[in-house]
Amino acid sequence: MKAPISSLVFVLLFIIAITAHSQVAVGNGSYTTTFPGTDSAGRNGFPSGTPFISGTASGKPVPTNDWWSALIKNGSADNLFNYPMTMKTVNQGVVVTYIPWGVIDDQQPIIVGVQGLNASQTTVSDYSDWTVTMDWSSKFKATSGIGMPFIYFEKENTEVASITINLGTVNVSGEMITVTDARNGGDFAIYAPVGSTWTQNGNTYTSTLNGNNYWSMAMIPLTASNVNTVANEYKKYAYVFPTNTEVAWSFNESTSKVTTVFNTAVDVKDGSVVNTNILQGLLPHQWDNLASGSPVPNGYTYDSVRGDLKTLVGNSFTVENTFKGILPTLPYLANYSDSFSPADLQTKISQIENDALATWTDSYNEGQVMNRLIQTARIADQMGNTVARDKMVATIKERLEDWLTYQSGEVAFLFYYNSNWSAMLGYPAGHGQDNNINDHHFHWGYFIHAAAFMEQFEPGWADQWGDMVNLLVRDAASSNRSDTQFPFLRNFSPYAGHCWANGFASFPQGNDQESTSESMQFNSSLIHWGSITGNDTIRDLGIYLYTTEQTAVEEYWLDMNERIFPTSQYSLVSRVWGNSYDNGTFWTSDIAASYGIELYPMHGGSLYLGQNTAYVQKIWNELKAFTGILNPNDTNPNLWHDTIWKYLSFLDPAEAISLYNADPDRVLKFGVSDAQTYHWLHAMNAMGQLDATITANHPIAAVFNDAGDKTYVGHNYSDTPIIITFSDGFMLDVPANSMATNKDVNVSGTITSNISEGDENDSAILTVTTTGGNITKVEFYNGNTLLGEDTTTPYNMNTGTLPFGIHNVYAKVYAGTNFNVTNIVSIQIGSQVPYSGTASTIPGTIEAGHYDVYEGGNGQNIAYFDGSIDNQGGFRPTEYVDAKSVAGEGDTVGWLSGGEWMEYTVNVATTGCYNLSIRYTSGNTSGGGPIYFEVDGIKISSDIAFAYTGDWNNWSSKATTIDLTAGIHVLRLGVSNGEVNIGRMTFSYNSNVCEPPVENTGLPFDFETTPVTADFEDFDGGTGTVEAVSGPRTIGNSSANLAKIVRNGGAVWAGSKLTLNEPLNFSTKGYITLKIWTDAPIGTTVKMKLEQGSPAVSAYDLDRVTTKTGEWETLSWNFSGLGITAFDRLAFMFDFGNLGDGTATSTFYFDDVQHVATLSSQKFEKQQFKVFPNPTQYSWTVKTQNANIKSIKVFDVLGKNVMSLKPNKNEASINASQLISGLYFAQISTDSGTSSIKLIKQ
């Protein structure tokens, strides 16, 4: 009998899954060309199916994100809006209609095809920059382009042209057919070659085209007074077919002009020399910006959803726009804003500098949070706060490099190239970035911006990672038409002038784009990345995109010229569709969101938004009228206060500052930095409005004007000084790798204090060391309070008695009326003390909410660090820790996130090992944590993960052990990842020394006592047993027992399972290994499958293949990318994909199933390398005598990989400066093997 279809499909799916992961190395980075699988939540995907392409389009990178992209995905499309016409495909050909607004209706006014056509699908057989050719079974083709009033048709020799006209009034005149009022007043003309005749049969008209294979169709302008007259006038264009359309751009740095040439290649079908030009419609952003000397449109005008479409007779025209500059951030001139406080800015930076990046995120949210850190780090750098800057640089670096590197087995923080759709997909994805190829420019803009930031603060980074970043550039906007991996300008439509966000135009209204400000950020990221890496091609691509898209945004989203939205209540829209626009967003209809999404994120790449202050005033008036922006108590989550205030600062920074000061307790939008808002508003207040009338001969430059007082700003990414010349003749010297303004003063200073901590009423002596000449005075400040001034060297000041608190002291170094601000030194007056006033006794119980107190007030960065500046729990409300009193559980902490910590002063009675019982709850099905403990800066515990408790109100206990030393100590609870709430922590004395931690999962399995045969759960023809080691299997295995699985019939996935005691945590131990012995041939697939629950509610598997037969070998599976999981069962599937027969080749012996942090390694040849100095405080040097060091991985004593290097030379330096004191292991790999050595950090 036949197998059930469902079983066959299941088998097929499993067989398809048998693939070897393919890693492509790109510099220090890499990506995979094999789908890595889903994560524990089932995320990660890719577009289904394969592209519907044929003919010339075959074999080329697949274009997406265009006006016709539904066709290439689905093999049909009902949302083709080319301006002025509307089309959809049907089996019989193309439906042509006129829909002035919205979606296509069910009417089919005119169907163009060939006689008897009934194609099941329509393919894309050719495309160019703004045209597409649709193909019906190679019998019939239709070519259409944006702004083209004509559609061009071709057929095979034996086919007969066919026109079915269901609506309108038809008139046949020789080879021409006119159709009046076909739909919504639309009139059309159909042109067969001269001498052709049309035969009518009902409402269908056919023609052999006088022996030719081409014909065309035009829409007549709605304003035509006589359809027949215009139809005859248009006849001369009917036989000039476009064969290719191309855009070419150039940037003149000296004039800051971007020139764009639009060219159309044509085929004059009738051989006529009377006319060789097509009729092309120009959109407002084009016809309003034509270059001098360009042909101009002087034909008829069509009304379209994009405004007036003006027709031009010709195959080329040229547009010219002016690029007006961007900056990485605003300059540090905020000190000239009256109410600005460097100390307050320092505090705001301190609230974010320790933030970690979430481990549960997606490519879009990751980008936003990276941007938050980037903007803040740049400000910290301006202030001379290199400690905070470097923390944030390190955070960005670690995660960005993780994204840019693929390791076999990982499913998160990686890139996968999908060859079917010619797209780079990032996992975990968000907003359809993977399945629908949505928003690549939005997401990659953040990543590319982060890459430019890394090169700025870690020069040379781009040499190692730049080629991976360039892949992201190419994915979203390849400028190379010969690119074999990615389509030309995927997201950007050269003719529409803007990007489309939807990969497959999957909505009835056509393609769409919502956040133009994030599209512009992508463009600005290319300018920064190209500039800092010296790649003018990428830089100029970014300038072209930025400048062109600005003109389109100002027309179609912002309607600055008031000619697009005829009756709109609002002066902007938040979504532009192929044939409509609206003020909705993809998450709410709240008008506040409509404004915010067109402004966010606001940074130095957003200056285009401030160039038209009259328009800013108009939007500000609407924001006051339609949102609660003036209400400091407004808690609308869609009202992004900081973004709007920064936008307002282009017009009235003083009012923006006033609103900012009135609302200190607002909830910050995700991705927003309070420090950046504060810096931005005061910088704008100091400089005045953006002056877009002045340009520069350098792209990273801008001018601000405060009632005639101009501030010239420029940033130099290069290693040599430059002079920027502005269009008004001003010249600005900019040192290498620096930002400069004409307000800079050639004096500076560094402040120091004789104390960093003290008791109440202590005083400090402040000293400022200066550079530069003509210093007139030095003013000393404690926060916003002027302590006094000194006019002679040495510049000193006594603070006087200092009360409890953190005192941020700094100085202003004056040269006349101008000044520079020194660095800021923080002096902590008051100590960290126990919550109850007395150190918590161990043995004993500590409530998690009873973390230490700072005598000076809020304990952020002293007794704890919390990633948010509000307390969501309500217990100890003046502190930031989210603590909550829970009946029966005491004072707990929750809402935890990675990077947070709390400290507890403890008094340990006796040195030794303590049992630790932690009360906890986790409502995340994947569990929570891990957390860990440190004492006096030394990590003393393994990472502690927590299982799902079923609900956030269900509390459970977690048991572990911890070594403690007698005496008074500070115990720190560190959070690597959240999704867990912590309650009471109870310590009880156990013994002198803790035994090495035993995994609660039950691993390792050695089968000596457990597991036993009864523990195996067999499935689909597999039988698992435990038996004594015997015969040839005693060679290389000294165990008494082993496990055996015999596969006999059933299914190709036959095997057996073992249940663990609790879920697996791959955060620090990333590998499962086992020893295997089989007579099966080399290359046999061994699948390790992780499952959650019985029956399994989720699963994840990886394959390995055997390399030996008839002897023992060790195989490993890398699950490190999964992190904390809910998987609590192991399924062993040997010889996966083949049906077992019970013989020796279907029998598999295995032993020593282990969960490990690193893999075992081979030994080096004796004396092959040396490491010095060891111990060290700063760095180790590793040197080989006769081998190339391929890689070095450094692990801490808990097995966590803390550093990775790829020296590719015989000597390498390992930087120890960021490591805490303790013992480490370096795994060093050369061509001859791998070895681990001990490293000691002092």
Instruction: Say yes or no: 379 and 298 in one domain.
Output: no
H or E stretch covering 1239? strand 1233-1241
CATH number of 230's domain = 2.70.98.30
State which amino acid sits at residue 811: A
Catalytic residues: 439, 514, 518
> What per-residue string of b and e applies to 929-945 under the rule 16 or more CB within 10 Å gives b?
bbbbbbbeeebbbbbbb
State which amino acid sits at residue 719: D
Instruction: Say yes or no: 183 and 221 in one domain.
Output: yes
DSSP secondary structure string, 349-362?
Answer: HHTTTTPPPPSS--
Strands 757-758 and 825-829: parallel
532-568 tens-digit pLDDT = 999 999 999 999 999 999 999 999 999 999 999 988 8
Spans of the chain below 50 pLDDT = 1-21, 998, 1161-1167
Instruction: Say yes or no: 450 and 562 in one domain.
Output: yes
Half-sphere exposure of 765 (CA within 13 A, CB side): 4
State which amino acid sits at residue 882: D
Residue 1159: predicted pLDDT: 66
Give the burial class of 1207: count Cβ atoms within 10 A of its Cβ; 0-12 exposed, 13-18 middle, 19 or more buried. middle
- In a domain, residue 285? The reply is yes
Number of domains composing the chain: 7
CA dihedral 755, 756, 758, 760 (to 10 degrees): 110
Number of CB atoms found within 10 A of residue 70's CB: 25
Distances (CA, A) of 245 to 175, 479, 543, 737: 28, 15, 22, 41
Instruction: Say yes or no: 1115 and 1093 in one domain.
Output: yes
Query: In the listed set 219, 238, 257, which residue is the last one of a domain according to the structure?
Result: 238
- In a domain, residue 566? The reply is yes
Spatial CA neighbour of 826 closest among 432, 345, 142, 461:
345
Residue 540: predicted pLDDT: 98
Instruction: Say yes or no: 1109 and 1183 in one domain.
Output: no
Cβ pair 113, 162 in contact under 8 A: yes
- In a domain, residue 251? The reply is yes
Strands 901-908 and 840-842: parallel
Query: In the listed set 322, 355, 384, which residue is the last one of a domain according to the structure?
Result: 322
Instruction: Say yes or no: 635 and 538 in one domain.
Output: yes
CA distance 1114 to 1133: 16
- In a domain, residue 1222? The reply is yes
The domain of 770 spans: 748-829
CATH number of 1073's domain = 2.60.120.260
Instruction: Say yes or no: 556 and 664 in one domain.
Output: yes
Give the burial class of 434: count Cβ atoms within 10 A of its Cβ; 0-12 exposed, 13-18 middle, 19 or more buried. buried
- In a domain, residue 329? The reply is no
Instruction: Say yes or no: 517 and 594 in one domain.
Output: yes
Number of CB atoms found within 10 A of residue 308's CB: 17
- In a domain, residue 1084? The reply is yes
Residue 1099: predicted pLDDT: 79
Residue 551: predicted pLDDT: 98
Q: Give start and end residues of each alpha helix (H) in 404-515.
A: 440-457, 461-477
Tell the residue number behind the tokens 């002056």, with chain if given.
691
CA distance 795 to 773: 14
Instruction: Say yes or no: 117 and 140 in one domain.
Output: yes
CATH number of 1195's domain = 2.60.40.1930
Instruction: Say yes or no: 269 and 205 in one domain.
Output: no
Number of CB atoms found within 10 A of residue 1215's CB: 12
Spatial CA neighbour of 529 closest among 466, 468, 606:
466
Residue 1165: predicted pLDDT: 36
Cβ pair 952, 334 in contact under 8 A: no
- Per-residue tokens: 280: 């092309």
CA distance 1093 to 672: 40
CA distance 1031 to 1046: 17
H or E stretch covering 1077? strand 1071-1078
Residue 939: predicted pLDDT: 87
Spatial CA neighbour of 294 closest among 280, 276, 275:
280
- In a domain, residue 506? The reply is yes
Spatial CA neighbour of 624 closest among 607, 646, 654, 645:
645
Residue 1130: predicted pLDDT: 95
- In a domain, residue 408? The reply is yes
Query: In the listed set 289, 322, 355, which residue is the last one of a domain according to the structure?
Result: 322
Instruction: Say yes or no: 304 and 366 in one domain.
Output: no
Instruction: Say yes or no: 371 and 485 in one domain.
Output: yes
Cβ pair 1121, 412 in contact under 8 A: yes
Residue 796: predicted pLDDT: 97
* For residue 601, cis peptide bond before it (omega within 30 degrees of 0): yes
Cβ pair 548, 258 in contact under 8 A: yes
